[in-house]
Every structure is written in C-alpha cells, then in structure tokens.
Amino acid sequence: MAWIKTGTILNDAHTTRQQILSALGAGFTDLRTSLGKLAGLPKTIAADGAWLREDHRQLHRKLDQALGEIEQLRACCAALSDLVDARTTPPAEPAERQTDPPVAPPRGAQPLPPPVITLDETDAEAPDPVRLRKLLRRAAGISSAKLVCHRDTWAFLLEQTARDPHFRAPGPVDDEHEGRVEVTLSGRSLIAVLLSLFGTSREEDTAKLGDLAMATELYQRIADALENTDSADRYGPQVVIVLDDRAGPAPDEGDEGRAV
C-alpha cells in the first residue's frame, strides 16, 4: 500500500511539474512577444514623429504664405486708399486776386488763332531706349529708394504703374506737410515705374500732353537719381527721389523794375 501511495504522489508531482513548466513556457512566450513589440516601438514612434514633423513644416509654410498674402493685400488696400483720398480730396481754393477787367479788341480786329503745339516742342529730351536699358539695370541693383512728392503726383504714378507685373504696392505712405507724401519703393517697383513712364512719355496723342509732361519729368528725376548710384558702395545713403521744386530767391531791391 505504501508503494502505491508513493507512486501516486510521484505521478501527481510529475503532472504538477509539467503544468508549471507549460505555464512558464507560455509566460516566456508572451514575454518574448511583448519584448518584440517593445523593440519595434521606437521605430514606429520615429516614423510617426517624422510624419508629424513634415506635416508641421507644411502647415508652417502654408501659414507663412498666408501671412505674406495678407500683408500684400494690406499694402494694396493702403495704396488704393491713398489713391481714393487723392481723387476725392477737393483742391484748396486759391485766394481771390484783383484782376483787371478784360479789354475788348478793336472793332474789326481778327482773333488770333490758337497756338499749334507739337510733340517736339513739349520736351526736347524725350527718353531713349538705350538709356532706359541702363536705368533698368541700375534699378535692379537697388534694394529700395525713397520717393518724396505731392499726393496727386503719387496718385498719377499709381495709375501709370499699377498694371505692370513688376510693381509691388509699397508699405505705409507717410504724410508730410504741404500735401507731400513719402513712399519707399523697391528696386523691382522702380523697374515698373521706369517702363510705365517711358511708355507714357512717348505718347503721340496731343490730348494727353499733361500725362506726357508728368511722365517725362518723373522719368527724368528718377533717371538722375539712379545714374548717381554706385554699385561698389554697399553702405552709402539710400537713393532719394524728390519732386518738390521751390521758388527761387527773391530779387534784390536794386533789381526791382529791371527787365528779366
């Protein structure tokens, strides 16, 4: 009987041992599977992180592009607002002056014919294409230039250059006294200004002599300023273009009454 009990105990122990070993084997298998998953986790995290970083870069680029477009639209709106103000602001009424009554012509006198104005008489120094090419090269090398003129002159300049693909609306237009404005133009915008003014200055329609005079004078002032630049001087003063001619000095008392 003792041998039978001992055999039964040994069989039970063997069975228990097999169950324990099976459980341990299954546990080790699960552990190896979990460790394998954990070993591949850094690669998964790295791949997902790279995708997230690239997505963040794309969103950042789109945001920068949107901000740039908003800034450009703001500048265009400011330029259009200045143009509207220049068009809608009534000119100052001149002071009343005492004028002599008109004198009637003698009886039977024929009225004088109106003067005939030709394009050659309006400006003897019309812009030429060779000089224009040189000025365009000069403008391309300029970072920015300051333009000082009357608000109406700035409105005329906007009308002439707004359709040119090289023109970019400047930043805020600073108001100065006596109706003047100060505008900062880029070199690319100066290229658009030169091309537009060059085309207007060669206008052959005598009904647009006012536009021709404005364009020719603006073109000449800008050309003079650009021709005084030095490409070798990187730290010189900013290019300044001024359209603000003033009256000359008053004559001396001894010169009063002399013929000019």
The DSSP letter of residue 236 is S
The DSSP letter of residue 257 is T
Q: Which of 19-28, 121-130, 200-209, 241-250 has the lowest mean pLDDT?
A: 121-130
Per-residue pLDDT tens over the stretch 63-83: 777 777 776 666 666 666 666
Q: Which of 102-106, 114-118, 177-181 has the lowest mean pLDDT?
A: 114-118
pLDDT at 101: 60
- Edge-to-edge strands, sheet with 174-175: 174-175, 180-186, 144-150, 239-242
Cβ(172)–Cβ(184) below 8 Å: no
pLDDT at 194: 92
Residue 27 and residue 54: Cα distance in Å, rounded?
41
Closest CA to 220 of 124, 120, 83, 119: 124
Residue with the two structure tokens 């000069």: 138
Per-residue pLDDT tens over the stretch 177-222: 778 889 999 999 999 999 999 988 887 776 778 888 899 999 999 9
Prediction pTM value: 0.50
Among the residues of 89-179, which ranges form H helices?
Answer: 119-122, 129-140, 151-161
CA of residue 13 relative to chain centroid, distance? 90
